[in-house]
Amino acid sequence: MHATIQKPIEEIVGFLRPDEKVFVVGCNNCAWKCHSGGQEETEAMAERLSRRGANVVGYTVPGPQGMSLCKLDHTRKVLQEDYSEQVREADSFLVLGCGQGVHTVIDATDGGMVHPGCDTIFGGETVSESEINEYCSLCGECVIEFTGGLCPITLCAKNLLNGPCGGAENGKCEVDAERDCGWILIYERLKAMGRLDLMEPYQKPKNHARWSRPRSLKVSPHEATFCSQAGPITVSNQD
Amino acid sequence: MKITELLENGSFVVTGEVGPVKGAIPRDASFLPPCAKEAESLRGQVHAINVTDNQSAVMKLGSLAACVRLKELGHEPIYQITCRDRNRIALQSEILTAFSLGVDNMLLLTGDHTHLGDHKEAKPVFDLDSVQLCRIASELLQGKDMVGNDLAFKPEMCIGAVVNPNFQPLELQLMKMRKKIDAGAQFFQTQAVYDDRVIDDFVEAASKLGRPVQMGVVLLKSPQMGAYMNQNVSGITVPQSWIDEIGSVDKTDRKKKTAEMMGRFIRRHKSKFQGVHIMPLGWTDVVPMILEEAEVSVQQAAA
Ligand code: SF4
Ligand code: SF4
């Protein structure tokens, strides 16, 4: 999931020009889980903006709970059919969702003016209703086979691939005394599994071309093509 | 001169350390920048002098510029290069540049995280880690860049690396040390150590790895500094007994006291190492006293 937090209301108000007619769009999946753009927060945002003198022409959170704003065909249908009048009237769209959701609204409104209502902070695991943690940095070439499934790119503050720096103290990272050193976590886990051998071999430098931006993916039921600066890579899910 | 040559012929290698200034070196050739003044007290006392690379992620004059100035003044610099601020293109280029400007020794490190320094919002690079950097430096010495292109002329330098004996679990740090050796590290300097047990446990394991190791010591200048290091310097612990001992004398006597403490400590452990690396944090004038107390002399080998 894409974790998001709302921007401060003053910053959002500052995005709007006097008399700008704004329509607020939330997301019923990730932003709902983050309480940054579900039904309640979107409704509240419309009200908070109105109270500060903004001209809010409407709001919606497309689809039932669990529906992602970034699913373009659905969002387009909701905005263009169910809310066609308000959407036509609006000068701009304030999006309470991640950056992908913001772009979905641009597409769904055929190039409408948008404002980001949130900061998109990371892709994470929903550990509980009140906690989301980052375990993957979406690097494009997964190396966690040799680390027992714990990502050194993400859990180590320096993205080190061949073991820890010298900075950890009491098991904590030199950058943050509250956070575990990723490499000590990896070591302890592999040790407990009797697989320290996995981390012995040299790990070559990362191929950053696969981590280039922007990247894209073409998918079909049996084949996918990942496009990055490393060139198109086509993979099959069949034998 | 490569310090590996000294290590190979069995010398107990003594190195010091200076940090470049925050600022440029004036064009006036008669002006001695602070690191060169500090190096002056080390003349004839040490074999070589480490020059730190934006240490603690605090932005300073480049390590290489300071290395070149020290070399011009007749010192033997060890060029510290970290992975924090440069990608793989810049790192390789820096090594070629350093050799071209007369530098013979490099010490390759991961580097402190940007978050610890004075530019906390900087993008930390860490494109390579220190093991990968050792390997790539070895490839450069063999005349190839890391993607296999031939170099028109290859650098001839020696490759040093760092290990932290204080690290727990030690086995994990030793795994990294082994990887650095496989990647071409020819000698090691340890992070600051203050603890007899830490030294003995480390030496027992590291001596089997077959690379010379210099014991690293940081001058303890005051009890406040000890407390500060325990609070803020990652990966290093100063035992309370050290803090108490340096605190037992007046400020004016602290240089003498630290020389006595560091010297005694080095004397006790020097036979377990192939050299000592003294990090004086500006108090380079104390180094001769430390070495005298430690009964270590470089007279024969030093310029
Ligand atoms: S190695 Fe890359 S893809 Fe795998 S978990 Fe880490 S960041 Fe994600
Ligand atoms: S202390 Fe551990 S997690 Fe932090 S940068 Fe060093 S190796 Fe990575």
User: Which residues of chain A neighbour B135 with C-beta distances below 8 Å?
Assistant: 202
Amino acid B232: pLDDT = 83
The rounded mean pLDDT for chain A is 97
The arrangement of secondary structure in A2-123, i.e. its CATH architecture, is 3-Layer(aba) Sandwich (3.40)
Tell me which of A141, A142, A206 to substitute to probe ligand 1's pocket, judged by most ligand atoms within 8 Å of the beta carbon. A142
User: Which residues of chain A neighbour B115 with C-beta distances below 8 Å?
Assistant: 157, 175-176
Ligand 1 binding pocket includes A143 (Cβ within 6 Å): yes
Nearest CA in chain A to B173: A164
- Maximum C-alpha span of chain A: 66
Residue B14 phi/psi, 5-degree rounding, is -115, 125
Structure tokens at A71: 């699913």
pLDDT in tens, A7-59: 999 999 999 999 999 999 999 999 999 999 999 999 999 999 999 999 999 99
Amino acid B79: pLDDT = 98
When scoring B109, B147, B175, B209 by the number of chain A Cβ atoms within 10 A, the one with the most, hence best to mutate, is B175
Ligand 1 binding pocket includes A142 (Cβ within 6 Å): yes
DSSP H helix total and E strand total for chain A: 8, 13
CATH code where residue B289 lies: 3.20.20.220
Ligand 1 binding pocket includes A144 (Cβ within 6 Å): yes
Q: Report whether B202 contacts B176 (CB < 8 A).
A: no
Long-range CB pairs of B278-282 (<8 Å, 24+ gap) are: B278/B14, B278/B15, B278/B16, B278/B17, B278/B46, B278/B217, B278/B219, B279/B16, B279/B17, B279/B50, B279/B192, B279/B216, B279/B217, B279/B218, B279/B219, B280/B16, B280/B17, B280/B38, B280/B219, B281/B218, B281/B219, B281/B221, B282/B19, B282/B38
Amino acid A28: pLDDT = 98
A200·B183 Cβ contact <8 A: no
Q: Does A143 touch chain B (CB under 8 A)?
A: no
Q: Give dist(CA A69, CA A62) in Å, integer.
A: 7
pLDDT in tens, A76-134: 999 999 999 999 999 999 999 999 999 999 999 999 999 999 999 999 999 999 999 99
Q: Report whether B250 contacts B208 (CB < 8 A).
A: no
Q: Report whether B199 contacts B215 (CB < 8 A).
A: yes
Q: Does B195 touch chain A (CB under 8 A)?
A: no
Amino acid B303: pLDDT = 44
B172·A184 Cβ contact <8 A: yes
**Cα(A150) to centroid(ligand 1), Å:** 9
Length of chain A: 239
Of B192, B186, B229, nearest in space to B78 by CA: B186
Q: Does A139 touch chain B (CB under 8 A)?
A: no
Q: Does A168 touch chain B (CB under 8 A)?
A: yes
Nearest to B175 among A163, A175, A206 (CB): A163
Q: Determine the distance in angstroms separating the CA of B251 from the nearest CA of chain A, rounded to an integer.
A: 30
Amino acid B236: pLDDT = 85
Provide the residue-wise pLDDT of chain B in tens; the chain has 303 residues.
999 999 999 999 999 999 999 999 999 988 999 999 999 999 999 999 999 999 999 999 999 999 999 999 999 999 999 999 999 999 999 999 999 999 999 999 999 999 999 999 999 999 999 999 999 999 999 999 999 999 999 999 999 999 999 999 999 999 999 999 999 999 999 999 999 999 999 999 999 999 999 999 999 999 999 999 998 887 888 999 999 999 999 999 999 999 999 999 999 999 999 999 999 999 999 999 999 999 998 865 444
CA atoms within 13 A on the CB side of B56: 13
> What does the domain layout of chain A look like in residue ranges?
2-123, 140-199, 209-239
Structure tokens at A39: 């039904």
As beta bridge partners, residue B50 has B17, B78
**Cα(A184) to centroid(ligand 2), Å:** 8
A158·B129 Cβ contact <8 A: yes
Q: Which residues have C-beta within 8 Å of that of residue B128, sequence separation ≥ 6?
A: A205, B83, B87, B88, B91, B136
Q: What is the DSSP letter of B238?
A: -
Q: Report whether B136 contacts B88 (CB < 8 A).
A: yes
Calculate the alpha carbon distances from A23 to A11, A56, A120, B100, B272 in Å: 17, 6, 20, 62, 73
- Does A218 have pLDDT greater than 50? yes
Amino acid B234: pLDDT = 76
Q: Which domain holds residue B108?
A: 3-301
Q: Report whether B60 contacts B54 (CB < 8 A).
A: yes
Q: Give dist(CA B282, CA B255) in Å, integer.
A: 12
A-B CB pairs within 8 A amount to 96
Torsion, CA B45, CA B50, CA B56, CA B57, rounded to 10: 150
Q: Does A167 touch chain B (CB under 8 A)?
A: yes
pLDDT in tens, A133-179: 999 999 999 999 999 999 999 999 999 999 999 999 999 999 999 99
State the complex-level ipTM: 0.95
B183·A202 Cβ contact <8 A: yes
Q: Does A174 touch chain B (CB under 8 A)?
A: yes
Q: Determine the distance in angstroms separating the CA of B180 from the nearest CA of chain A, rounded to an integer.
A: 9
pTM of the model: 0.95
Q: How far apart are the first and last CA of chain B?
A: 10
Q: Does B179 touch chain A (CB under 8 A)?
A: yes
Please tell me the total count of domains within chain B.
1
Q: Give dist(CA A236, CA A221) in Å, integer.
A: 9
Helix or strand or coil: residue B24? coil
